[in-house]
Amino acid sequence: MLIKRNPNGIDIPFGSEITPRAIFESRRRFIRQLAVGSIAGGALLDAFAQAPGGQKLAAKPNPGFVVMDKPTSYKDATTYNNFYEFGTEKDDPARTAGSLRTRPWTIAIEGEVRKPLTLDIDSLLKLAPLEERVYRLRCVEGWSMVIPWIGYSFAEIIKRVEPTGNAKYVEFVTLADRKQMPGLRSPVLEWPYVEGLRLDEASHPLTLLTLGMYGEVLPNQNGAPVRIVVPWKYGFKSAKSIVRIRFVKDQPQTAWSISAPQEYGFYSNVNPNVDHPRWSQATERRIGEDGFFTRKRKTLMFNGYSEVASLYTGMDLKKFY
């Protein structure tokens, strides 16, 4: 992965200052509106305004899973993407992912489970109540976004398939179809794109089985019709357009760690104190904040999701990067 530095890169420290009252107040208003479910009247309005009438997807806002940062605009979130199956430039997926057929779509959930499941997308949509959650997404390249996702905890799936005692990890496998995905012609990664989590990470309530964003079904370039979102890890752990989920005994070989094991570890927790071998991870550029006085934000430990820290007690996070 290449890193592009903000050409305006004026470093203004963020996060250490006292939050200005006006911002604080508007954040509180935002939370209150989420809590009462009047999402269209909230601060998300800006972000939603540009959504071009994709298929609507109703979901109940879950105020327990909402970051207070202003959501990224729909336009930025759908035109600045990493989805190498559709090309390696940020604007490639928006241009080329129209060829992805998202229906019919089945997802097989198998491996070390008592009750394997093969579900079509409609069954997946009905498996558990859909929630709206606003998460930060931090790419390993040094930029971030804030996205209102729709889905439910992956734990809902785990509950239903009943993992056996041998299940220690979960592997997520993306579709790999040369007819639909022009990027597969390039050997930039080994296909299919595979990602993985430890079973306890996959079971954490933050881990979101994701079916929509901004009030609609997922756009193709964002991983339609179903992806995973793991907000405390670098974005590449959040595999898109998943066709197979396997519960396994051994730690999965993942696409990025096969391509560059010294650079992309299995864990890949967001961590400002562990630099990528080729760049610092201490700060990030929030997409959409590109004014002359752009302020670089401080990257937060676990991307701000400190509740996951107990998953890693006793582990050296420099070693298990």
Ligand X SMILES: Nc1nc2c(c(=O)[nH]1)N[C@H]1C(S)=C(S)[C@@H](COP(=O)(O)O)O[C@H]1N2
Amino acid at 276: H
Measured CA to CA in angstroms, residue 149 lies from 48, 183, 228, 236, 305 at distances of 12, 25, 10, 16, 16
Could you tell me which residues are beta bridge partners of residue 120?
106
Q: How many CA atoms lie within 13 A of 88 on its CB side?
A: 9
Give the residue with the Cβ less far from ligand X, 241 or 269.
241
- φ/ψ region of 128 (left if φ > 0, alpha if ψ in -120 to 50, else beta) reads beta
Contacts (CB under 6 A) with ligand X, residues 144-163:
145
Structure letter (DSSP) for residue 315: -
Q: How crowded is residue 141: how many other Cβ atoms within 10 Å of its Cβ?
A: 20
Q: Does residue 174 touch ligand X according to CB under 6 A? A: yes
- Cα-atom radius of gyration of the chain, to the nearest Å? 19
Give the residue with the Cβ less far from ligand X, 222 or 303.
222
Which residue, judged by CB position, is nearest to ligand X in the bound state? 235
What the block records as the tokens of 198 is 């430890």
Q: Stretches 43-51, 95-103, 231-239, 305-313: which one binds ligand X (CB under 6 A)? A: 231-239
Give the residue with the Cβ less far from ligand X, 112 or 239.
239
Give the residue with the Cβ less far from Mo ion, 112 or 195.
195
| Choice from 61, 142, 151, 235 touching ligand X (CB under 6 A) | 235
How many Å apart are CA 221 and CA 89, to the nearest integer?
Answer: 12
Note the helical H segments in 86-222.
92-96, 121-126, 155-161, 199-203
Q: Stretches 12-20, 101-109, 233-241, 263-271: which one binds ligand X (CB under 6 A)? A: 233-241
Q: Which of Mo ion, ligand X, none does residue 85 bind to, with CB < 5 to 8 Å depending on kind?
A: ligand X
- Site size toward ligand X (CB under 6 A) is 18
| Choice from 62, 78, 82, 269 touching Mo ion (CB under 5 A) | 82
Contacts (CB under 6 A) with ligand X, residues 237-296:
238-241
| Choice from 65, 135, 149, 193 touching ligand X (CB under 6 A) | 193
How many Å apart are CA 311 and CA 293, to the nearest integer?
Answer: 38
Give the residue with the Cβ less far from Mo ion, 30 or 266.
266
| Choice from 44, 100, 139, 217 touching ligand X (CB under 6 A) | 139
Per CB under 6 A, residues contacting ligand X are: 81-85, 137, 139, 145, 174, 193, 222-223, 235-236, 238-241
